Amino acid sequence: GAVVSQHPSRVICKSGTSVKIECRSLDFQATTMFWYRQFPKKSLMLMATSNEGSKATYEQGVEKDKFLINHASLTLSTLTVTSAHPEDSSFYICSAGQGLNEQFFGPGTRLTVL
Amino acid sequence: DAKTTQPPSMDCAEGRAANLPCNHSTISGNEYVYWYRQIHSQGPQYIIHGLKNNETNEMASLIITEDRKSSTLILPHATLRDTAVYYCIVRVSGAGSYQLTFGKGTKLSVIP
């Protein structure tokens, strides 16, 4: 199947700093990428849908100014957590699709905010 | 998208078949049944999907009832590496640009 990568896999940062997470589709062009967040022992919650070349669509309750999403190319989407706080500590996962019946998920990024 | 109901947890002996049920009584005619799994601290992995016919691939088999109100994912010979949370999701067919809505899934524990 298609491969989606995320970088970094783990990041620890101080409260108030910003963190950028990259999501790449390695062997296919993804017109749509999704960003999910998963808290411990909980299911994945969709944060936003990112379409190449247009603004992301955020789910209710997700602050667009705090979670900046850029989908500048068909193989790269980035999520920037701005002014991170301890409650933003979570497992962030992206997925990508392109006219396929299944989405492919990245391995996830573990964010810890001290 | 239709809602699904899965048991919160199941155990299976290593080497035996694991049968994971899913109820989706409100599924619409144009909605497919998808199965994903998530091994601890990893991203979800696609397993299989189907509309109304039974499906089989190298990972699993999917059995969908004739009325499409329920389905069963079958892992024919479970191994310890199959220990994961399994998610049954129903959504409209077509492009991968459709979002997936994850429920709580079934935590499958394969026991030696």
Q: Please, which residues bridge with residue A13 across strands?
A: A113
Per residue in A17-32, pLDDT tens?
Answer: 999 999 999 988 888 8
Backbone angles phi, psi at A12, to 5 degrees: -120, 130
Categorize the per-residue pLDDT at A98 as very low, low, confident or very high, splitting at 50, 70 and 90: low
Q: What is the mean pLDDT of chain B?
A: 92
Backbone angles phi, psi at B62, to 5 degrees: -120, 120
- Is residue B32 helix, strand or coil? strand
Smallest CA–CA separation between B28 and chain A, in Å? 17
Per residue in B44-99, pLDDT tens?
Answer: 999 999 999 999 999 999 999 999 999 999 999 999 999 999 999 998 765 555 77
Percentage, residues of chain A above pLDDT 90: 72
Interface test with B, best of A103, A109, A110 (most B CBs within 10 A): A103
Distance CA B80, CA A13 (A): 35
Interface test with A, best of B3, B46, B89, B93 (most A CBs within 10 A): B46
Q: How many CB pairs under 8 A join A and B?
A: 70
| Whole-number pLDDT of residue A29 | 86
| Whole-number pLDDT of residue B2 | 61
| Whole-number pLDDT of residue B63 | 98
